[in-house]
């Protein structure tokens, strides 16, 4: 199963990168498989650690994709050199224990060294899920056909229009505009 998260990682100069990321959890380990090239890949190779942020605020996924860093509030993690998202529900600090090379998506096997719960999970909103799916589309505009992207966006828009609040509508507007600009 893939869990949609935001991974925060740093390079050797302590520059933080926040990236929406689908991770796998198998038993007690987390598997991160970034595409080549990516900043997450570079940071994991440099420092060997990251923070996996779990959240249900789709606007933070959008902010990461469109590069709106002003809304991303962070705080230093406790057991590793890194940062977590202040608004996350929970997070796990991880260290790389194994690395499997691949020409497209190498895999980092990570052990969890610290788990923190910040807020309760109060339920699922369909608009939030639709916005996260749109964020995934946004990261793949260079590999998917325009017609597929437009079809997917039209379908996702239904859930957003039916179930979102103001915050979700704003996030949808931002990611929708960003995707259309990239596929024009």
Name residue 5's beta-bridge partners: 21
Q: What is the mean pLDDT of residues 10-23?
A: 97
- C-alpha span between 28 and 159 (Å, rounded): 34
Residue 103 has pLDDT above 90, yes or no: yes
| Sequence spans of domains, the chain | 2-117, 126-183
Using a cut of 0.85, tell me whether the model's pTM lies above it: yes
Q: How far is CA 107 from CA 23, 82, 93, 97, in A?
A: 10, 20, 17, 11
Question: What is the per-residue pLDDT for 82?
Answer: 97
> Which run of H or E residues covers position 41?
helix 39-47
Distance between CA atoms of 24 and 22, rounded to whole angstroms?
7
The per-residue pLDDT for 104 is 95
Q: Which residue bears the tokens 């740093």?
A: 10
Q: Do 121 and 100 touch, CB atoms closer than 8 A? A: no
Domain 2-117 has CATH 3.90.700.10: no
Whether residue 165 contacts residue 172, with contact meaning beta carbons closer than 8 Å, is answered with no
pLDDT, average across residues 136-164:
97
Confidence of residue 149 (pLDDT cuts 50, 70, 90): very high
CA–CA dist 98, 41 (Å, integer): 14
Q: Is the pLDDT of residue 124 over 90?
A: no
Average pLDDT of the chain is 97
How far apart, in Å, are the Cα atoms of 111 and each of 40, 93, 115, 147? 17, 8, 11, 40
pLDDT of residue 87: 94
Quick check: do 2-117 and 126-183 share a fold?
no
Region 150-175 average pLDDT: 97
Q: Which of 32, 35, 61 is nearest to 47 (CA)?
A: 32
Answer whether 110's CB lies under 8 Å from 80's CB: no
pLDDT at res. 9: 98
More confident residue, 177 or 124: 177
Mean pLDDT of 31-56: 97
Architecture, CATH, for domain 126-183? Up-down Bundle (1.20)
Instruction: Provide the percentage of residues in the chain whose pLDDT is more than 70.
Output: 100
């Amino acid at each position: 199963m893939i869990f949609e998260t935001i991974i925060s990682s740093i390079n050797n100069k302590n520059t933080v990168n926040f990236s929406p990321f689908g991770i796998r959890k198998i038993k007690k380990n987390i598997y991160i498989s970034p595409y080549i090239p990516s900043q997450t890949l570079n940071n994991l190779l440099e420092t060997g650690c990251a923070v996996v942020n779990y959240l249900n605020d789709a606007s933070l996924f959008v902010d990461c994709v469109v590069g709106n860093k002003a809304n991303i509030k962070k705080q230093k993690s406790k057991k590793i050199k890194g940062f977590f998202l202040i608004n996350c529900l929970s997070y796990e600090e991880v260290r790389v224990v194994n690395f499997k090379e691949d020409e497209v998506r190498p895999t980092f096997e990570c052990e969890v060294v610290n788990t923190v719960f910040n807020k309760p999970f109060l339920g699922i909103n369909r608009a939030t899920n639709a916005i996260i799916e749109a964020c995934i589309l946004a990261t793949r505009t260079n590999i998917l056909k325009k017609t597929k992207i437009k079809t997917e966006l039209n379908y996702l828009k239904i859930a957003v229009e039916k179930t979102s609040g103001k915050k979700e509508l704003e996030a949808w507007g931002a990611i929708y505009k960003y995707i259309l600009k990239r596929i024009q």
